[in-house]
Amino acid sequence: MRTSTEKLINYIMLSFFAILVLAPFLWIATIAFKTQIDIMMMKIIFKPTLFNFDKLFFSKEATFFRDIFNSLFVGIISTLIILIICSMASFTMIRTKISNWITAVLFLWVIVFHMLPPITFVGSWFQMANSVGLFNSRVALILAHVTVNLPLGLLIISSFMRDVPTEIQEAAYIDGCSNRQVYLKVMLPLLGPGLFATAVIVFLFSWNDFMVAMNLTAKATQTVPVSIATFSQQYEVRYGEMAAGSLVSLVPALILTFFAQKYIVKGLTAGAVK
C-alpha cells in the first residue's frame, strides 16, 4: 500500500463492505420504530413510535421479560459451568503429566463433536429430558448448552493455557503446591483474560442459540430467539414486534463487542482452527 490512490481505493472498498454489513441492521432498526401501516407503505420519512416495544413488553400476552430472564439465566449458568469444567480439564491435560492418549482422545472427540450438526443430537436430548421429566425445564437447556458450547470453551481456554509460562507453575511446585493449589492459586488468576474471552463468546453463543432452545423448551421456558421466531409464525406476520424483539436481542452482543472486541477476536481465532 504505497501510493495514496491505493490507500483511497482500499478505504472505499472497506467502507463498501462495511455498509453492506451495517445496512441491514439500520433497516431493521427503522422498522422497529414504525407503525404497521408505515412499514407497509414503505415510508422513508416517518414519525418514530415506541408502539412495537410497548406491545412487545407490555401487551396482555407478552412474555418478553420472562424470555429475557430465561435467556440470561441459561446463558450465565451454562457459561459458568463451562468455565469450571473446561479450565480444570484443560489444566490437567496440558499442564500435568498425563497419558498422552487421554488428551488426544478427548481433544479429538471434542473437535469432531464441534463440527457435527447439533440437530443430530437434539432428538436424543429431547428423549432423555422427557424420560427424566426435564422437558420444558431450564435444567435441560442448560445441560444442552453446556454440551454444545463445551468444544469452543475447551479450545479457547486451552490456547490461552499454552501461553502461561511454565516457570511460574514449576516455582509453585517447588514451594510445595499440589496440582489443586496450582490450579486455584496460580493458573486461574493468570488465565483471567482467557477466561473472560471464553465467557463472553460462550455466553453469546448460548444467548444466540435458537435450534436447541426451540426443541427443548415450551412457552414458559422459551428463550429470546424462540420468542422472536414465533412472531413470524402466526397467520399474520408481526413485523413490528419481530423487528423490536430483534433489536433488543442485539444488546448483549453490542455491549460485549464494544468492551471486549480484542478478547473476542483472540478467542474466536483461537477456538477456530487449532
Of 154-173, binders to another protein (CB under 8 A) are: 154, 169-170, 173
Task: Specify the stretch interacting with another protein by CB under 8 A; choose among 53-61, 142-150, 156-164, 191-199.
Answer: 142-150
**All 3 cell numbers of residue 223?**
428463550
Task: List the one residue from 8, 18, 139, 168 that touches another protein (CB under 8 A).
Answer: 18
**All 3 cell numbers of residue 233?**
409464525
Residue 175 interacts with another protein (CB under 8 A)?
no
Binding track, positions 237-266, relative to another protein; x by CB under 8 A: --x--xx--x--xx--x--xxx--x--xx-
Q: How far is the CB of 85 from another protein (least distance, A)?
A: 4
Q: How far is the CB of 170 from another protein (least distance, A)?
A: 7
The C-alpha atoms of residue 259 and residue 263 are separated, in whole angstroms, by: 9
Task: List the one residue from 8, 50, 102, 218 that touches another protein (CB under 8 A).
Answer: 102
Task: List the one residue from 88, 94, 134, 188 that touches another protein (CB under 8 A).
Answer: 88
Binding track, positions 199-238, relative to another protein; x by CB under 8 A: -----x--xx-xx---x--------xx--xx--x------
Nearest to 223 by CA among 140, 116, 131: 140
Task: List the one residue from 110, 142, 156, 191 that touches another protein (CB under 8 A).
Answer: 110
- Asked if 228 contacts 195 with a C-beta cutoff of 8 angstroms, the reply is no
Task: Specify the stretch interacting with another protein by CB under 8 A; choose among 58-66, 72-80, 108-116, 191-199.
Answer: 108-116
* Residues of this chain, 46-65, that bind another protein according to CB under 8 A: none
Task: Specify the stretch interacting with another protein by CB under 8 A; choose among 5-13, 46-54, 156-164, 188-196.
Answer: 5-13
Task: Specify the stretch interacting with another protein by CB under 8 A; choose among 51-59, 72-80, 85-93, 185-193.
Answer: 85-93
Q: How far is the CB of 47 from another protein (least distance, A)?
A: 18
Q: How far is the CB of 158 from another protein (least distance, A)?
A: 12
- Asked if 137 contacts 129 with a C-beta cutoff of 8 angstroms, the reply is yes
Question: What are the angstrom distances between the C-alpha of 168 and each of 53, 96, 208?
Answer: 53, 14, 38
Task: List the one residue from 76, 77, 80, 85 that touches another protein (CB under 8 A).
Answer: 85
Contacts 24+ apart (CB under 8 A), 246-251: 246/28, 246/32, 247/28, 247/29, 247/32, 248/53, 248/56, 248/64, 248/68, 248/224, 249/207, 249/224, 249/225, 250/25
Task: List the one residue from 50, 98, 168, 171 that touches another protein (CB under 8 A).
Answer: 98
Nearest to 247 by CA among 44, 86, 3, 27: 27
Task: List the one residue from 56, 68, 93, 157 that touches another protein (CB under 8 A).
Answer: 93
- Asked if 125 contacts 137 with a C-beta cutoff of 8 angstroms, the reply is no
Nearest to 255 by CA among 122, 72, 16: 72
Q: How far is the CB of 193 from another protein (least distance, A)?
A: 17
Contacts 24+ apart (CB under 8 A), 59-67: 63/219, 63/222, 63/227, 64/224, 64/227, 64/245, 64/248, 66/220, 67/222, 67/223, 67/224, 67/226, 67/227
